Amino acid sequence: MAEPTPVTLEPACVVTDGTSLYALAIGTSRTTPPSSPNDAHYVLVKSNPNPSPDLSDISWTPVSVIRNEGLNDIETPDANPARACHIDETSKVFTVLSSRSRTEKTWRTYDVARGIQYRPSANGGPGSWVNVTVSPVSPDFEWGDLSTELYKPKGSENLLFASADPHAGKIWIASMDPSTLIMKQNPTP
């Protein structure tokens, strides 16, 4: 049996569950002409548990690979978006939010913050991918340039987004409803 061919992935987002690292890479098929944005794939990988501090023993295992068809297109090569991701330590649900995404399957339209979420199967089978959207009442979703994080407060089901721009003296907060996967910025407490 032939040795597997190593592949190089460029992570768009990396996060830890306290034991392993999870990384989302976004790749396009080498057989698709560059003018076609419809053939991007999302590749979610997981590291071995507790890699050494110098990462000399790190190895990666694919969790899920899926074509972006039907999912929010956060692969925006010309836009250089900021991204924040989160892995739930218990359920292993992985969420990524991108400051820019394509609103159409073209290379030019990428003005909306949106994301995607991977949900592992409870029975060990293949998981599923779903879209995360921004509330229509928050069309100008604010995103600071320096510090952005997705996090889940202890005891809460809601995933929160926090972004800050200390130079402008601004902080933005958003909350995602877990049942609708809609992110609302500056929710009423």
What average pLDDT does this structure show over 43-50? 96
Q: Residue 144 has what pLDDT?
A: 65
Q: Residue 20 has what pLDDT?
A: 96
Reply yes or no on whether the pLDDT at 21 is more than 90: yes
Amino acid letter, 20: S
Reply yes or no on whether the pLDDT at 37 is more than 70: no
Q: Residue 128 has what pLDDT?
A: 95
What average pLDDT does this structure show over 154-158? 84
Q: How far is CA 38 from CA 10, 31, 69, 70, in A?
A: 19, 12, 7, 10
166 contact partners, CB below 8 Å, separation of at least 6: 146, 147
Reply yes or no on whether the pLDDT at 25 is more than 60: yes
What average pLDDT does this structure show over 118-128? 90
Q: Residue 149 has what pLDDT?
A: 82
62 or 163, higher pLDDT: 62
What average pLDDT does this structure show over 18-33? 78
Q: Residue 34 has what pLDDT?
A: 47
Q: Tokens at residue 157, please?
A: 């089901």
At 19, the pLDDT band (50, 70, 90 cuts) reads: very high
Residue 73 is inside which H or E element, if any? none
138 closest CA partner among 187, 80, 73, 74: 187
What average pLDDT does this structure show over 112-121? 90
Q: Residue 39 has what pLDDT?
A: 64
At 67, the pLDDT band (50, 70, 90 cuts) reads: confident
Alpha helices in 34-174 (DSSP H): none
Calculate the average pLDDT of the chain: 80
Whose tokens are 């992935």? That residue is 9
